[in-house]
Structure 1
Amino acid sequence: MQHRIVVLGAGYSGAIAAGRLARRLRREDVALTLVNAEPDFVERVRLHQLATGQELRPRPFAEMFAGTGVELRLGRVTGIDVERKTVTVAATDGTDGTDGTEELAYDSLVYALGSGWTDHGVPGVAEHADELASRAGALRLRARLAGLTAGQPVLVVGGGLTGVEAATEIVEARPDLDVALAARAGLGDWLSPKGARHLRKVFGRLGITVHEHTDVTGVAAGHVSTAAGTRLPAAVTVWTTGFAVHPLARDTGLEVTDDGQIVVDGTMRSVSHPDVYAVGDAAMAMGDGGSPLRMSCATGVPMAWQAADALAARLTGGKLPKTSLRYFNQCVSLGRRDGLIQYVTADDRAVSAALTGRPAALYKEVVCRGAAWGVAHPTLAVPSRRRPVARQDVAAARDLPVEEPA
């Protein structure tokens, strides 16, 4: 009797979790299925590059997981029944059945459906703004930017990491455009003084206009409106004001936060349903010092490690991981030739130290390549032996007990 593990979503968190589980467990003991809507891995941290015309290396899942024992199902998750332990999937590969859907049963579920963009209820965003949270969105923005003529205005709304990276990438690729950024707070106010000075220096060098302490209240064709009653010109508006989790979790019966994130313990297991693990943007986990972890690749990857190791340990009778999840730095690309590495405390507060300029750009590139390598080589990233699943755990798979980390 095989223990059925279904992983939903193959972003950084889901793909790494699936690969790590394949490395930890033996194929004869576990049936491991990975469900994703697209056949290729999306390097989300590079979507601002894709939007400005750069070509990204294709990373097909069929090649990544060939020979690993991970079965890839292409489809969109439309429902989860946590009582019956089933997942409903609408196939996207053209080989579905008569109704285009199938039901997958699981003994353990890893929920990694991630997040997408959100308009925060601001009028006109959905109709007139572009997003960078998906490959489709980046490609649409790419086409719109390519259609602009010299001197036309591009406005990036959102002063966080995504907005900063998007603005600098766009103006570096198209210096003939009039690029501006609107931020609710001050530019780089989360950085150390050194980091903030460098960010302002780069924005000044690139000629990016910054509208600080500006709350955008509406988006229209050709401009945005602000709370101060002003209009900012925008032939293209790029909306980067944060992410919203996939809405599916709210309807499952799992305990979720007000924002829809699944509440998990230190091993990334649902506090309400012990056969469900959640990782990445979809989960609300606490980091070092008791602070909630933010949505990011830096968070999602170690969460995937933690979940996979914990699930494998519970199935094999091994030792549960005790590693606390913490931060070390924030990596920001400022175009292709400049960057900023802001060192932070374990709970993500900026310290005085920061790496800037070309060395920081190279550092960020190494981080991005390392993350992609970990996904592309899912069973090579963990140097550990496969362990047999305890027979009693398989027999009791439908009634896993709740226990605290050892």
Structure 2
Amino acid sequence: MSTPTPRRTVVVLGAGYAGVLCANRLRASLTAAEAARTRVRLVNPTDVFWDRVRLHELAAGSRVSASVPLRDVLHPDVEIVVGRAERIDASRRHVHLAPVAADPVVPYDLLVHAVGSEPHHDVPGAHEHTHAIGSSAGATAARTALASAAPGARVVVVGGGLTGVETAAEVAERRPDADVVLLTGGDLVPTMRPAARRSVARRLRRLGVTLREGVRVDRVEDRRLLADGGTTSPSTSPCGPRPSAPPTSPPAAACASTTSGGCGSGRTCAASTTRRSSARVTPSGCPTTSALTCAWAAPPRCHSAVPRPRPCSPSCVGRSRRPRPWATSCSA
């Protein structure tokens, strides 16, 4: 009598673009025999998937929601574990979740670390007095602040990258009665060619956005920004992605975008001490490139999430059982 082959458990931490893509791609790449002895589990603090490149639309009030049930974007055989990971015990191959989770300890044979990262900013007062558009909570708070802002309120968007530009444009279109100001410490959208930057600036001005380039925010106070020695008074606190922030006026709000801060150019930073501590812990995602700006999300560099070479799926959240090759390289 043959002994049954033990099941192998693959745990993916994080249900962002990289985590969802990796879980789907891994499960869809398995043969029937492999699937019978492989368990794929996705750990995430909530059971929803946030489309982060649409958060500026949520903040401006252009859409009611930027989230969908996580189950709707996952392969039907991928298990969802709701809980926040607090510690990884690589020696025992355990992920310890917050005590409130139904399964406080999740064992694994292979762990994919795809929790993502947040843009970094060190502007005093930004955390307390702005709404970070790069997070679901920040975008939702910005939406509330903008909805309650009175006509003529000043909305200040800090950060001249793609996220800041889209946030400023979206707010100006939705609230033509507002005084929208876009502040950037350098050139507007520095990743673009000069002709493209001029075109973007013209479009913003046609929408009524006041553009101020070369203005660096030194400090954020309650309904007040201190920039290069001067003062700008938004109506509400700033709103935007965590690396920078866009604000509103007399009861306006400020918002932060992802371009200023961190490694610059909209990039996020991984600590210099980050290490791949175990052969069974695989990092996934792309923490050093700007993949979540504008309305465009590049396929995360997910190749390392599959324990053998396979083509990448053409969709970040595709559920196809037979992934097709992606035209661009997406290897780790």
Report if TM-score (shorter chain) is over 0.5. Answer: yes
1:204-283 aligned at under 5 Å gives the runs 204-226=205-227, 228-235=228-235, 236-242=253-259, 257-258=270-271, 262=274, 270=276, 272-281=277-286, 283=287
Number of aligned residue pairs = 291
1:7-406 aligned at under 5 Å gives the runs 7-25=12-30, 26-53=34-61, 54-56=63-65, 58-65=67-74, 68-90=76-98, 96-97=101-102, 102-118=104-120, 120-226=121-227, 228-235=228-235, 236-242=253-259, 257-258=270-271, 262=274, 270=276, 272-281=277-286, 283=287, 293-296=289-292, 301-304=299-302, 306-309=303-306, 311=307, 313=308, 320=309, 371=315, 374-375=316-317, 377-380=318-321, 382-383=323-324
Which secondary structure state, in structure 2, belongs to the residue aligned with residue 155 of structure 1?
strand
Flag the 1:45–1:299 CA change in 2: closer, same or farther, 3 A: closer
Q: Which moved more, 1:6-15 or 1:77-86?
A: 77-86
| Residue 112 (structure 1) shift | 0.8
d(CA) in 1 for partners of 2:157 and 2:217?
11
Which secondary structure state, in structure 1, belongs to the residue aligned with residue 278 of structure 2?
coil
| Residue 379 (structure 1) shift | 3.5
Identity rate of aligned residues, in percent? 32
Q: Which amino acid aligns with 2:221?
A: A
| Residue 383 (structure 1) shift | 4.7
When you count helix as a share of all residues, which structure comes out higher? Answer: 1
CA RMSD of aligned residues (A): 2.8
Flag the 1:299–1:84 CA change in 2: closer, same or farther, 3 A: farther
| Residue 58 (structure 1) shift | 4.8
| Residue 137 (structure 1) shift | 1.3
Which secondary structure state, in structure 2, belongs to the residue aligned with residue 301 of structure 1?
coil
TM-score, length of structure 2 as denominator length: 0.79
Unaligned runs of 5+ in 2: 1-5, 236-252, 264-268, 326-330
User: Is the 1:117–1:131 Cα contact (8 Å) retained in structure 2?
Assistant: no
User: Is the 2:124–2:219 Cα contact (8 Å) retained in structure 1?
Assistant: yes
Which secondary structure state, in structure 2, belongs to the residue aligned with residue 159 of structure 1?
coil
Q: Which amino acid aligns with 2:234?
A: A
Which secondary structure state, in structure 1, belongs to the residue aligned with residue 106 of structure 2?
strand
Give the corresponding residue for 1:352: none
Which secondary structure state, in structure 2, belongs to the residue aligned with residue 116 of structure 1?
coil
d(CA) in 1 for partners of 2:114 and 2:298?
9
Q: Deviations over 1:175-197 (max 9, x none)?
A: 11000111010123321122112
User: Is the 2:134–2:258 Cα contact (8 Å) retained in structure 1?
Assistant: no
User: Is the 2:154–2:181 Cα contact (8 Å) retained in structure 1?
Assistant: yes
Q: Which amino acid aligns with 2:205?
A: G
User: Is the 2:113–2:281 Cα contact (8 Å) retained in structure 1?
Assistant: yes
Q: Which amino acid aligns with 2:301?
A: M
Give the corresponding residue for 2:239: none
TM-score, length of structure 1 as denominator length: 0.65
d(CA) in 2 for partners of 1:86 and 1:275?
11
Flag the 1:383–1:211 CA change in 2: closer, same or farther, 3 A: closer
